[in-house]
Amino acid sequence: MAKVLTSREENYAQWYNDLVLKSGLAENSAVRGCMVIKPYGYAIWEKMRDELDRMFKATGHENAYFPLFIPKSFFSREAEHVEGFAKECAVVTHYRLKHDEAGGGITVDPEAKLEEELIIRPTSETIIWNSYKNWIQSYRDLPILINQWANVVRWEMRTRLFLRTAEFLWQEGHTAHATREEAVEEAMRMMGIYAEFTENFLGIPVITGTKTESEKFAGAVETFTLEALMQDGKALQAGTSHFLGQNFARAFDVQFTNREGKLDYVWATSWGMTTRMIGALIMAHSDNNGLVLPPKVAPIQVVIVPIFKGADEYPPIAEKAERIKKELADAGISVKFDDRDTHKPGWKFAEYELKGVPLRIALGPRDIAQGTLELARRDTLEKQVVPAEGIAARIASLLQEIQENIYRRALKFREENTHRVENWEELLDVLERRGGFALAHWDGTSESEERIRETKATIRCLPLNGEKETGKCVVSGKPSGRRVVIAKAY
């Protein structure tokens, strides 16, 4: 197979786009900014969704479904919220088409104009809190721990497959609590679940922290974030969890009788993770040969490719392959036997490297004679010949090792690309030349933050596990009690 990808070194953005298209994950649709998630990409999303869903349910959350549409007036209720989303809203104004008597074809029926326009949800706090109002009277109705799997729309002018699309898929958790403490605890718990998922399942190390005032979610009191580092040295926000205080309860007048018998507003959180994480998965691990998928999220974990010349060599290989396939499937490993005779082994090898299948088994006549098989790891591209005997156990442990190796490698990359900087010049050196995370002192003022933003970088977060350390702000020279993470970001 000919080289199908632009190399990372040549053009990282082009490499990414090539990879998404050529590996069959997704493509652009005829609708501006909206993508088609193809079966291979959707299979990855299903794995991510199932794992997150399991984690949500294990922590007491239930799924529900709220309307796609939000009445325009709901939007204005929470002032910061509308400010944050008004400029990227798709608006439904009519509910009928009719024949275009003048021009032919069809046209919007002007008589079917809605009294109040409907916004396609960019996020569902407003429609959900309008429902919660009817569900909550007393502390006995709390907490409400609900999650929703849905599509949302945020109109974007410059889009990129998975990373920034007008429509995307996500989950959004919306919880209601009787006390401030409980809501903060919930927001932090979900940030913890996201971190566990991103590190253990997707193999991407994250720094958890809080957003600055100017970077937090529109309507939140505090936004917890997970920041991951991509191979081009740019940061990617991997998920956010918001403590919303009583902002939405006030906006939608959701009060409850507390244990002391007094009326109070309900405390809230919301938290979301999106199909964008597929983009993160690609950019964190893949190489110039194609995707590198951690085994836990790989739709196909093992592929078996038969190697043979004459037609008489094939039957014993096929028989052996089917036996191995069954053995692996019985052990819960997802395996594919590629028995197509329309493609040569070399073509198939390149194809499965492109698709990031973690392990490849090649099986030829000599293997049949000697009771062996050839194993190739996608992460290291190493090959070894091993006994066919006991292959399921060997592969199970190898998949675990690959999962861990991919994480270790990403962690090493992040450590090598995280730089403590002590002044403005050092900061610029990281942002403009070296790339990666800069750990810098910041005086906490929006003036200094604005100055940083002029470099096109942002304060990604105030790390939660950051040590206390006195120093001087890299912008103002004023005293600072801790370092923050600064980087250019997706």
Collect all residues with Cβ–Cβ distance below 8 Å to 305 and sequence separation of at least 6.
Answer: 338, 345, 348, 349, 352, 360, 361, 362, 363
Residue 216 sits at the vertex; the CA angle it makes with 421 and 166, to the nearest 5 degrees, is 110
Contact (CB, 8 A) for 247 and 221: yes
Q: Which of residues 127-156 bind a copy of itself (CB under 8 A)?
A: 127, 130-131, 134, 140, 146, 150-151, 153, 155
301 closest CA partner among 266, 272, 277, 325 = 325
Residue 145 sits at the vertex; the CA angle it makes with 66 and 460, to the nearest 5 degrees, is 90
**C-alpha 405: how far from chain center:** 20
Q: Closer to a copy of itself at the Cβ: 105 or 332?
A: 105
Q: Closer to a copy of itself at the Cβ: 94 or 478?
A: 94
In this chain, which stretch among 125-133, 266-274, 415-423, 436-444 interacts with a copy of itself, using CB under 8 A? 125-133
Contact between 329 and a copy of itself by CB under 8 A: the answer reads no
Place of tokens 């006549």: 365
Among 10, 46, 196, 469, binds a copy of itself (CB under 8 A): 46
At 448, list the tokens: 């200094």
Q: Closer to a copy of itself at the Cβ: 65 or 347?
A: 65
Contact between 30 and a copy of itself by CB under 8 A: the answer reads yes
**C-alpha 176: how far from chain center:** 25
Q: Which of residues 76-95 bind a copy of itself (CB under 8 A)?
A: 76, 82, 86-95
Q: Give the SS3 label for residue 378.
A: coil
Q: Which of residues 337-396 bind a copy of itself (CB under 8 A)?
A: 342
**C-alpha 460: how far from chain center:** 16
Contact (CB, 8 A) for 126 and 133: no
Contact between 56 and a copy of itself by CB under 8 A: the answer reads no
Contact between 22 and a copy of itself by CB under 8 A: the answer reads no
Contact between 39 and a copy of itself by CB under 8 A: the answer reads yes
Q: Closer to a copy of itself at the Cβ: 81 or 488?
A: 81
To the nearest whole angstrom, how small is the minimum distance from the Cβ of residue 84 to a copy of itself? Answer: 11
Contact between 69 and a copy of itself by CB under 8 A: the answer reads yes
Contact (CB, 8 A) for 242 and 187: yes
Binding residues for a copy of itself, per CB under 8 A?
27, 29-31, 34-39, 41-43, 45-46, 62-76, 82, 86-99, 105-106, 108, 117-120, 127, 130-131, 134, 140, 146, 150-151, 153, 155, 167, 169, 342
